[in-house]
Structure 1
Amino acid sequence: MQTGQLRTVGAIGGVYIAQSVLGGLTWTGLPGVLRAQELPLDRIGLVSLIVLPWALKFLWAPAIERVRLPCYGRDRSADIVGTGIAIVVAALFAVGFVGPVPMLAVLGVLLFAATATATVDIAVDGYAVARLSATRYGWGNAAQVGGAYVGSAIGGGVFLILVDLFGWMIGTWSMAVLIALICLPFVFLARTDRIAAERSHVPSLGAALRRSEVRAGLLIAALYVIAQKTAMGMFGPFFIDAGYSLIELGLLSGIGSLTLGLAGALAGGAIVRRFGSRPVLVGAVVAQAGLLGVLALAAGSDVVSAVAVAPLALVATGAIMAVGFVALYAQFMAWSDPRQGGVDFTLFQCMDAAISMISGVAAGLIAERFGYGIFFALALGISLATIPLILRAAAPGPDAARA
C-alpha cells in the first residue's frame, strides 16, 4: 500500500475508533454503571434507543452526501466531520456534569451525540469508499472493523475502569478529550487533499434501492445482526449480577476487544479472501451460537459457573464478531457506489442499527421477565434459525469480498 493510502487508512481509522468509543460507552459501559446503581433490566434495555439515529440516518444521508460532494467544488468531508465531532465532545462534557442518573437526561444528551456521530459516519464512509477503491477496500475495512473494536475496548473497558477509580465525571470527560484528539488527523488530511471537481450524479435513496446488490445486502444485514447482537446488551448486566465489579468487567471487555477482537479484525480480511464471505458469515454465527449455549447453561443451571464463563464470553465474542463483521462490511463496501458511497453504505448500517435497537429493547424486557437462562436459550435458538436464511440470502449476490 502506498504512503498516501496508508495515511488515509490511518486517518479514517481514527474516526472509526472515536465513533466506537461512544458506542462502547453506550452499549457496554453505561449498562454496567446503571446496573451497579441497581436499576432494573427493563430500564437498562432503554439504552438501546440511543441507536435510533444510526437506524434513521439513511433519511438525511442523501442530503449530507450532496453537501459533501457538491455539483461543483471541493469535497467537504473535513467540515462535516469537524463539526460533528465538536458536537459529540460538547455533549460528553454535558453528560459528565449530569451524571449517570437521572437516566432519561443522560439518554437525551447521548441521543444528541449519537445523531452527530451518525452524521459524521455518513461522510467518513463516503470518503473511504471513494478514496480506497484502489486498495480493493481491504485495508479500509480492516481500519473500520479494527477501529470499532479498539474504540469499543476504550468505551466499554477503559471507561468503566476510570469510572470505578475516579468517578463518572472524570471517566466521561476523558472519553471526550480522547475522541477530539484521534479525529484531528482526518480533519487535517481531508482538508489538505481536497480537489475541485464537477459531478453529474446526484446522490439519492432511489438510486441505491434500484440496485440488486443493495437490496440483498439489507436482508443479509438484518439476519446477521439478529444472530450476533441480540444478546450482547445483556452480557454486562449478567456478569454484574454474577458478582463482577465494574473494574473487572471493564478489564475483561477491554482485553477481549484489544486482543482477540483486534486480531480477528486484522485476520478477517485474509480469511474472507481465502474462503469467501458466505462461509465466514455462517461460521461466525455458529461460533456465537455455541457461546450463547454456554451462557444459557451458566444462567439456567449449576452445570457451568457464571463467574467462570465471563472471561470466555467477553474475550471470545470479540474475535467471533470481528471476523464476521469484516466479511459483512467488506461485502457492503464493495457493493457501494463510489459516487454516493455515504448513501449506500449508510443503508446497510441503518439496517444493522435498527435491528440492534429493536433486539436490545426486547432483550431487556425478556431477561427481566423470564430470567437470563431463558433469554440466552432463546437467543441461541434465534441464531441457529438464521443460518439457513443467511445461506440462501447470500448465495445469489456477488461475492465481491473475495476479490
Structure 2
Amino acid sequence: MPARDASPARVSPAVVFVTVGGLYVAQSVIGGLTMLGLPAVLRNQGLPLDQIGLVYLTVLPWALKFLWSPYVERFRLPRVGRNRSRVIAAVGGSLCAAGLVAIGITGLSPLMPVLVALILVALVTSTVDIACDGYAVETLSKEHHGWGNTAQVGGSYLGSAVGAGLFLVLVDRYGWSPAVFSMAAVVFLLGLPFAFGPATRGAVETRPHTPSLVTALKRPAVRKGLVVAAIYVAAQKWGLSMLGPFLIDYGLDLATVGVLNGFGSMVVGLAGALTGGAAVRLFGANLVLTLAILLQTAMLLAFGFFDFGGSAPRAMVIGVAILSSSGVMALGFVALYSQFMGWSDPRQAGVDFTLFQCADSLVSMVGGVGAGWIAERFGYTAYFGIAAAICFAAAPAIYLLMRGRAGLATGAVSHG
C-alpha cells in the first residue's frame, strides 16, 4: 500500500467546502463575465450576433485541458513529496486577476485582443480547475462527495451572480474598466482561503500510480460518462447561448439583465441545486436528468413563442429566463456532476474529472459558435425551435444511457 497523507482525511468537509468553494466561485466569476456578461455588453453596443458567438472560443482551453491534465496531476502529485495543489491555485489565481486587469486597461475595441486575453485567462483557470477538482475528490471521503458537488454547483451560481449579474450593473453605472477591475479584485480575494487553508498542511507521500489519459479511457465508466456528458450538455446549454443578446433585443437594458442574472444565480440557481440534490437521493439521477431536459425543452419553446409573437410581458420573459438559465440548469447539473465525482478514480481524479468537463466545454463551445450563426441568419424563433428539438431528442437518449448507471459504477476504482 502506498504511503498516504492522513491529514486530508482529518480536514473537516465544511472547511474543504469553504476553501475549495472559493476557487469554484472565482472560476465562475470569470466564466459568468465571459459567457453571459460580455455577450450582453457587446449586443448593447450593436455588435452582430455571429461576432458575439466568437466569445465562445474562450471555452477552447476548457475543452482541451484534458491534454495537459496528466502533466498537471503529475506535478500536483509527485511520486515523492507534498501535494502541490496550493501552488497551482495561488499562481493561477494571481495570473487570472492580472489578465482581467489587462482587458480592463485595453477596453473592448478592438474585440480580438480582448478575446485573446480571455482565452489566456481561461487557459490558466482551466489548469487551476484540474488541481481544484483533484484535491476535492481525493480529500473528501465518498460519503462527503456531496460537499464537493455542492461547492461546484453552488459556487458556479454564486460566481455567475457576480460575474454576469453584478458585473453588468457595474458596467451600466461606471463603465467597462472599473467593472473589470472590480472582478479582478474579487477573483484574487476568493483564492486566498485555499492558499492559506488546509492545502498548506499536506505531508510528504509516496505515490506509485502515474496519472494518464490511457488509464482513464480504459475504464467503461469514463467512456460512457463522456457520452452522457456530451448529450446532456447539448440539450441544456445550446439553447441558452444567445439568451443574453435575446433579452437585450427584447428591450431589456444591461442593468436589468445583470439583476436578472444575479437574482437567478443567487436564489433560483441555489434553490435548483438543493432541489436537485434532494431529488437525486429520492428518485435517482436518471429521473432528475430526464426531467430537467424535458423542462428545458418547454422553456426553449417558450422563448421561440416570445420572439415570434413579440408581445409577451417582460415580466413573463424574465421569469422564464430565470427558471431556464438558473433553476432548470441547476436541477440537472447537480445530478450530472455528482456522477462525475463518482466515476472518477481518486488516484488521478484531476484527469478523470477533467475529461468529463472537457466534454461539457467542447459541446458548449460548438453550440455557442453555431448558435450565433443560426440566430443571426434565421432569427431567434428558428434558433430556439432548433434548440428545443435537439433538447427533446436528448431526453430518451439520456434515459436509456443512465439506465446502465449501476454498470457505470462497476467501472469505478475502489480504494480502501
Q: What band does the TM-score fall into relative to the shorter chain?
A: over 0.9
* Aligned-CA RMSD value: 1.5
Asked if structure 2 preserves the Cα contact closer than 8 Å seen for 1:295 and 1:306, the reply is no
Q: In the superposition, relative to structure 1, how do residues 31 and 302 fare at CA in structure 2: closer, same or farther (>3 Å)?
A: closer
Moved more, 61-70 or 263-272: 263-272
Asked if structure 2 preserves the Cα contact closer than 8 Å seen for 1:255 and 1:315, the reply is no
Choose which of 364, 372, 376 in structure 1 pairs with 2:380: 372
Structure 2 Cα separation of the partners of residues 332 and 109 of structure 1: 30
Deviations 1:321-363 (A, max 9, x none): 1110000000010110000000000000000000000000000
- TM-score, length-scaled by structure 1: 0.97
Structure 1 Cα separation of the partners of residues 169 and 131 of structure 2: 32
Asked if structure 2 preserves the Cα contact closer than 8 Å seen for 1:256 and 1:316, the reply is no
The equivalent residue for 1:174 is 182
Alignment-mate amino acid for residue 18 of structure 1: A
Moved more, 182-191 or 358-367: 182-191
The equivalent residue for 1:244 is 252
Asked if structure 2 preserves the Cα contact closer than 8 Å seen for 1:149 and 1:262, the reply is yes
Asked if structure 2 preserves the Cα contact closer than 8 Å seen for 1:33 and 1:100, the reply is no
Choose which of 94, 99, 104 in structure 1 pairs with 2:107: 99
Structure 1 position 272 matched with structure 2 position 271: no
Q: Secondary structure at the residue paired with 1:244?
A: coil
Choose which of 27, 36, 48 in structure 1 pairs with 2:56: 48
Among all aligned residue pairs of Structure 1 and Structure 2, give the percentage whose two residues are the same amino acid.
50
Choose which of 136, 144, 148 in structure 2 pairs with 1:140: 148
Q: In the superposition, relative to structure 1, how do residues 30 and 303 fare at CA in structure 2: closer, same or farther (>3 Å)?
A: closer
- TM-score, length-scaled by structure 2: 0.94
Choose which of 229, 232, 251 in structure 1 pairs with 2:237: 229
Structure 2 Cα separation of the partners of residues 70 and 302 of structure 1: 59
Asked if structure 2 preserves the Cα contact closer than 8 Å seen for 1:78 and 1:190, the reply is no
| Number of corresponding residues | 400
Alignment-mate amino acid for residue 70 of structure 1: P
Flag structure 2 segments of 5+ consecutive residues without an equivalent: 1-8, 410-416
Q: Secondary structure at the residue paired with 2:210?
A: coil
Choose which of 142, 148, 152 in structure 1 pairs with 2:160: 152
Structure 2 Cα separation of the partners of residues 299 and 307 of structure 1: 14
The equivalent residue for 1:202 is 210
Structure 1 Cα separation of the partners of residues 232 and 223 of structure 2: 15
Moved more, 94-103 or 355-364: 94-103
Q: Secondary structure at the residue paired with 1:203?
A: coil
Structure 1 Cα separation of the partners of residues 296 and 280 of structure 2: 18
Structure 1 Cα separation of the partners of residues 10 and 86 of structure 2: 22
Q: In the superposition, relative to structure 1, how do residues 303 and 37 fare at CA in structure 2: closer, same or farther (>3 Å)?
A: closer
The equivalent residue for 1:334 is 342
Deviations 1:106-151 (A, max 9, x none): 0000000000000000000000010112434111101110000000
Shift of 1:232: 1.5
Deviations 1:204-263 (A, max 9, x none): 000000000001110000000000000222111011011111001000111111001011
Shift of 1:192: 2.3
Q: Secondary structure at the residue paired with 1:201?
A: coil
Alignment-mate amino acid for residue 121 of structure 1: D
Asked if structure 1 preserves the Cα contact closer than 8 Å seen for 2:86 and 2:200, the reply is no
The equivalent residue for 2:3 is none
Structure 1 position 186 matched with structure 2 position 226: no
Structure 1 position 384 matched with structure 2 position 392: yes
Deviations 1:294-319 (A, max 9, x none): 10101112573466312321344301
Choose which of 375, 398, 401 in structure 2 pairs with 1:393: 401
Q: In the superposition, relative to structure 1, how do residues 3 and 208 fare at CA in structure 2: closer, same or farther (>3 Å)?
A: closer
Structure 1 Cα separation of the partners of residues 166 and 10 of structure 2: 33
Asked if structure 2 preserves the Cα contact closer than 8 Å seen for 1:299 and 1:306, the reply is no
Structure 2 Cα separation of the partners of residues 127 and 317 of structure 1: 29
Q: Secondary structure at the residue paired with 1:231?
A: helix
Asked if structure 2 preserves the Cα contact closer than 8 Å seen for 1:14 and 1:186, the reply is yes
The equivalent residue for 2:6 is none
Shift of 1:99: 1.0
Moved more, 235-244 or 299-308: 299-308
The equivalent residue for 2:305 is 297
Flag structure 1 segments of 5+ consecutive residues without an equivalent: none
Shift of 1:280: 0.3
Structure 2 Cα separation of the partners of residues 302 and 120 of structure 1: 43
Structure 2 Cα separation of the partners of residues 267 and 308 of structure 1: 23
The equivalent residue for 2:414 is none
Asked if structure 2 preserves the Cα contact closer than 8 Å seen for 1:54 and 1:115, the reply is yes
* Equivalent runs, 1:25-36 vs 2, <5 Å: 25-36=33-44
